[in-house]
Every structure is written in structure tokens, then in C-alpha cells.
Amino acid sequence: MNGLGGLNKSPNGVVIGLVQLQLPTVVTKADLEAQTARIVSLVAKARANLGTMDLVVFPEYALHGLSMDTNPEIMCRLDGPEVAAFKKACIDNKIWGCFSIMEYNPNGYPYNSGIIIDDQGELKLYYRKMHPWVPVEPWEPGNLGIPVIEGPKGAKIALIICHDGMFPEMARECAYKGAEIMIRTAGYTAPIRQSWRFTNQSNAFCNLMVTANVCMCGSDGSFDSMGEGMIVNFDGTVTAHGTTGRVDEIITAEVRPDLVREARIHWGVENNIYQFGHRGYTAVKGGAGDCPYTYMQDLAAGQYKLPWEAEVKVVDGTSCGFPAPTRSFGEAKAADTREAAE
């Protein structure tokens, strides 16, 4: 059901392109400008590559690389020149685009943010990564929830970022809010290859939802990202998979949101997204709609605590060179001299 990678597009099909972008090194404003221009050129490549493509997706860290540099001078803003360039690229090439930015945050570490722009240059989705890859990543935890938008052909689309996808609750939230396609952008390196593959499949199957997933690719001289563009159908089968690790390859496939809708309505066996809230409906009318899960009850009450919590050794970023935080989530940091001047 991938229409030869989207070459043969059905009336209800949505063609997605996943860019296995070469991992960059970005240190200065000039580097940032050059990488922005490179991404813009690849939007044009995507359109030239496949005239039927509806949405082109760039991986996490496409603009900034994997240095974890939090220098405010190379952080982005929604009204900044980088996002403006992406908007223009989508207009010029008549294509939807999904992009990654490290977003300036005056109250703490930057946000790791993802955006989707439509073919008219309008910002349609704005998401901040909920689960930074601790202890390695310093990013502020996201505070916008998981938005779901109406994309090409009316498809309901959500975006999560990298480590988010290791939490089944994230994919479930996307589906619960109506997403038929869940995009997962990442910068993962080779040690995560197997868990990347099976979580992309399980996120799809457990929620009757297409997942479209892509990592950075190649080496920056220090890190080696793996590409691994994957489009997975709602039944968990892999529709397209970039296994060669070739940088800048665009993995494409047609997906069918209309068949996702059909399955969610008509499936009985393994309609897990429905059955989760209707336990045992064969035995009891409507099924059990309670919440029997202790971890959910405790999290909602602000009392989440593992039986082995006191024994966990890594609980901050000091092992990766970041100072132990002193403020709680939602609290502002004290402005330093440079920020005060800004």
C-alpha cells in the first residue's frame, strides 16, 4: 500500500517524504544560515524528486546538529529568519514541511521544538519535545501538550520528537486526540537502532495509526546518526524503510488515512485504542471504563514514585557535564547579564 513510494497516488492517498539529512556541525550564526539554506534546497529537491509528495519531513537536529550547544546566538524563534525561510520554501515548492528548531527560552534552557508549515506558508503545528533524552539533552521539557492538526487530504497529524516515541503513552495520546498519522523526528545514533524499529511498529499497531519516522544520517566527525527513515502502516507492517544509511536520501511512501479511519471503526479484534477504555465489553455492557493503572493514578495525583526510586543513580545531567538544576518545572531562571541586555 505504498504506491511504489508514492509514484502511483490514489485519490485518498497522502505521500510522505522522510529526509535522512546529513548530520551537520553548527557553531556560529554563519553556520546556522548555511544549514538553513541547505534545508531549503532539500525542500526543493523533495518536490523535484516526487511531484506527488504532500509532506516532506526533516529530522530532529536538522538545523543545529548534535552538539547540544545552548548558545543563545544560534537559538531560533518562531518569528526568526530560519522559520521565515522554511515558510517561503513551502510556498515556493507548494509542499507541506515538518522542521526542527532549538527554540530560545528566556526562562531556562532552550526548547527542542518541531513545526509543521503548510503549502501556503502558514504555521499549522507547533510542538515542544515532552521527553528530552536525559541525561544527555539539556532541553526544557515541553509544556504545550501534543497538538493534532488537519493536514493534506484532511489527514489528522501529530508530531512527537525522538525519545518521546519510547513512551507508549505519547503515541496513545496522539491517537486519543484523533491523529491518523504520527510523525516522529529524531537524531538517534546507531545503538538505538533496534529499539527505534520496534517502537515505530508498536506505536502504529497499538493505536491503529500510521507512523512516519526519520533520524539524522551520517557523521559529523564525532557522532554517527543512522537515517532509518520508516513509514509503518496502522497494522504494524513496514511500508518503507531506509536501511542503507545513505545521507540525504528521501524515503517515500503513500499512506491512507481513510483506511485508518475504516479500521478504527470496523475492527473488533485488536482495536486496542478503543478497547483500552472499554475493558471486557463482551462480558459487561460498554466495557469497564475505570482507570485500574496505579502509575496513572499516582502521576495524576503528583505522587509518581517507583518501588526502586531511591536506588536510581542518574537523576540529573551532571554525568554529561550539565550543572544540577535548582529550579522546578515552570519556574523562571534568574536572567544573566547577556540576557538582561537583550
Residue 335: what pLDDT? 56
Q: How far apart are CA 217 and CA 84, in angstroms?
A: 25
Nearest to 20 by CA among 221, 247, 183, 194: 247
Mean pLDDT to the nearest integer, 168-187: 98
Q: What does the DSSP assignment read for 86-119? A: HHHHHHHHT-EEEEEEEE--TTSSPEEEEEEE-T
Name the residue ranges covered by the structural domains of the chain: 3-275, 294-341
The CATH architecture to which 3-275 belongs is 4-Layer Sandwich (3.60)
**Count of other CB atoms within 10 angstroms of residue 94:** 12
Q: How far apart are CA 270 and CA 2, in angstroms?
A: 23
Mean pLDDT rounded to a whole number for the chain? 95
Residue 341: what pLDDT? 40
Give per-residue pLDDT as tens, 38-56: 999 999 999 999 999 999 9
Q: How far apart are CA 90 and CA 120, in angstroms?
A: 7
Q: Which residues are catalytic?
A: 60, 129, 162
Q: How far apart are CA 296 and CA 13, in angstroms?
A: 37
Q: How far apart are CA 248 and CA 57, in angstroms?
A: 12
Give per-residue pLDDT as tens, 271-309: 999 999 999 999 999 999 999 999 999 999 999 999 999
Give pTM, 2 decimals.
0.95
